[in-house]
Structure 1
Amino acid sequence: MKKSIIAKKKFGQNFLKDKNILSMIIQSMPKNSNHIVEIGPGLGDLTENLVKYKDTTAYEVDTDLIAVLKSKFAIEIENKRFELIHTDVLKAWDEKGSLYKSKYDLIANLPYYIATNIILRAFEDINCENIIVMIQREVAQKFTAKVNNKEYSSLSIITELVSKEARILFDVPPESFDPPPKVVSSILYISKKEKVELDKDFLKFLKVCFSQPRKKLFKNLSGLYKKEFLSNIYNELNIKETLRPHEVDVSLYSQMYTKVKNGKQQS
């Protein structure tokens, strides 16, 4: 059955085949009673390992794979150990607000093209407690980078705000997949804080701050705010105007945003 299925580029499919990597992902799972949600189960190789340990819900958009998975996990579906939902996971979030009715851990090999969006949606999902996902290494580095690191970005700041812990567990070489991707992947682990709400306007502010990451932060902000207004804020917070976005920590960004929001002086 596996050989009759060809990975589809439009869904960003790369099927994980390395049993050692699959085992390492399972060993990384938090020891708790949470349900498991998987996004994009593919041919079910990771799923097969997940359902041995916990009840699992999987979201799959590809109709051809749905048929494969229903056949492969017929017993688990009948026994209510496995629920397979045929839909676009982003639509499911829009419609239901959460991917599961109670606490769950997201464990998945994510399609590269929507991985960042999925993780950000998981941040907003109050029932999602832990995230263990395979994504492109460069993107994983942006989620986990610390201030003064060149990879430090708005994603790093958002992750620091919502997480108790965020780190890369290990890298996964291209040959672990069929077909092999052109990049190295990483397993990203994020344990979320409870009841953290992200201010949408703050996220927009960060987007402006990192609009040109290698430019000075002052330059990026001056496209939206008056320079005199920004200079006053910089002086009040004792920030050097020469700093670039990756050289400013979460606390300072929060303080800057508060002053900008209260001042509301756009250029």
Structure 2
Amino acid sequence: MEKTIIAKKKFGQNFLKDKTVLSKIIQSMPNNNNHIVEIGPGLGDLTENLVKYKDTTAYEVDTDLIAVLKSKFAIDIENERFKLIHTDVLEAWEEKGSLHKSSYDLIANLPYYIATNIILRAFEDINCENIIVMIQREVAQKFAAKVNDKEYSSLSIITQLVSKEARILFDVPPESFDPPPKVVSSILFISKKKDVELDKGFLKFLKVCFSQPRKKLFKNLTALYNKEALSNIYNELNIKETLRPHEVDVSLYSQLYTKVKDGKQQS
């Protein structure tokens, strides 16, 4: 008798079952020769569609699911169309630096609780070229937001720096999953620029900028930088001190960071 697999909360599991959604994800795949990497294949419903088109590597942490996937994809594993790796994907990144030895596209239904970390790690992986992931809609909006959008955040700025394109393809209702999550999901598409390295100092700077999103950016920055020096920089760059974090574009953030970094005006 076949063992029933119950979704585990600790792994943030919600198994995607909607065939229409699965088909739309496949249709959105870039037309290239890249390998596919999937994170958290679950019961293999998306995987089944992916391996029809391209060689696929999947990372799965759940031992129970590994057994199911090995059985389901025994022929694909034997033919080397499918490689299944039993590990925590963040640990794999830490150990290897990349999830594949050559160019790949990340296509996955990500667990909500680590989705942001996974996408940020994919930004740093030079072999990852395109990202098509299902995540919580509110988080997807932050990655895809533009200046003056209420969802615009440090994630939006980082995404604009590393990507040629970032947009939400479509939303996915809770009933498309088993068990259904309590939130609406979205398919996020990001096409990365080549050879972009993120300055760790700039990432820390952005964290300060958006520490209190509803307050003025100037006020947030005074927690770390000298007020008088900041005023001078604002005047030099012709920035209004009344602006809030979501009202400043990527270019201006870059200029502002360069000035405070070069002047080292920490209070």
* TM-score, with structure 1 as normaliser: 0.99
- In the TM superposition, 1:117-132 aligns within 5 A as 117-132=117-132
Amino acid at match of 2:222: S
- In the TM superposition, 1:46-57 aligns within 5 A as 46-57=46-57
Give how far 1:3 is off: 6.8
Partners of 1:129 and 1:192 within 8 A in 2: yes
Partners of 1:97 and 1:125 within 8 A in 2: yes
Paired with 1:114 and 1:255, the residues of 2 have a C-alpha distance of: 31
SS at match of 1:4: coil
Equivalent in the alignment of 2:114: 114
SS at match of 2:43: coil
- In the TM superposition, 1:1-267 aligns within 5 A as 4-267=4-267
SS at match of 2:33: coil
Paired with 2:151 and 2:187, the residues of 1 have a C-alpha distance of: 17
SS at match of 2:21: helix
Shift in CA distance, 212/2, structure 1 to aligned 2, threshold 3 Å: farther
Paired with 2:109 and 2:3, the residues of 1 have a C-alpha distance of: 20
Paired with 2:2 and 2:99, the residues of 1 have a C-alpha distance of: 27
SS at match of 1:93: helix
* TM-score, with structure 2 as normaliser: 0.99
Across the aligned residues of Structure 1 and Structure 2, the Cα RMSD in angstroms comes to 0.9
- Runs of 4+ residues deviating >3 angstroms: none
Unaligned runs of 5+ in 2: none
Amino acid at match of 2:243: L
Give how far 1:134 is off: 0.1
Give how far 1:235 is off: 0.4
Give how far 1:174 is off: 0.2
SS at match of 2:133: strand
Unaligned runs of 5+ in 1: none
SS at match of 2:114: helix
**What number of residue pairs does the alignment pair up?**
267
Give how far 1:39 is off: 0.1
SS at match of 1:133: strand
Partners of 1:2 and 1:43 within 8 A in 2: no
Paired with 1:29 and 1:251, the residues of 2 have a C-alpha distance of: 30
Amino acid at match of 1:209: C
Give how far 1:2 is off: 7.8
Give how far 1:226 is off: 1.0
